[in-house]
Amino acid sequence: MLENKTEILRGTLDMLILKTLSLAPMHGLGISRRIEQITDGVFQVKPGSLFPSLHRMEQEGWIRGKWGESENNRRAKYYEITSAGSARLGEEKQGWSRLVLTIGKVLEAS
């Protein structure tokens, strides 16, 4: 029996964050909300997973952050994808497509 919520596979969070930021720069909470919205609530990214990932991805040069003001007039760090991040997103998408095809083959085998 499947539950309504699904844990994000290790490594998949980077791809989801990069894809989200490829649509528009966002602050952390906005990224989390957008992923939840796009996945119809299946994936909920908790701050304990999101912010360490954002920090690591910023160190890798895949995203860059700038401090600004949120829609609630609070200080927030806004992230945007870099060209290195776009390249990484392309690699992640190719790997994910291969994985999905491979799992599909196994499930369809008779």
pLDDT digits (tens, 9 = 90+) for 7-57: 556 678 999 999 999 999 999 999 999 999 999 998 889 999 999 999 999
CA pair distance 33, 95, nearest whole angstrom: 25
CA pair distance 44, 58, nearest whole angstrom: 21
Residue 1 lies in a domain: no
Question: Number of folded domains in the chain?
Answer: 1
Residue 3 lies in a domain: no
Residue 109 lies in a domain: no
According to DSSP, residue 68 is labeled E
Q: What's the domain range around 94?
A: 12-104
Strand-pairing partners, residue 22, are none
**Which CATH number characterizes residue 55's domain?**
1.10.10.10
- The pTM (predicted TM-score) of the whole model is 0.85
CA pair distance 8, 108, nearest whole angstrom: 24
**What value does the mean pLDDT of the chain take?**
90
* Percentage of residues in the chain having pLDDT higher than 70: 91
Retrieve residue 87's tokens.
């390249």
Residue 110 lies in a domain: no
Residue appearing with tokens 């992640």: 92
Phi, psi for residue 109 in degrees, rounded to 5 = -65, 140
Task: Identify which of 84, 48, 80 has the alpha carbon closest to the alpha carbon of residue 64.
Answer: 80
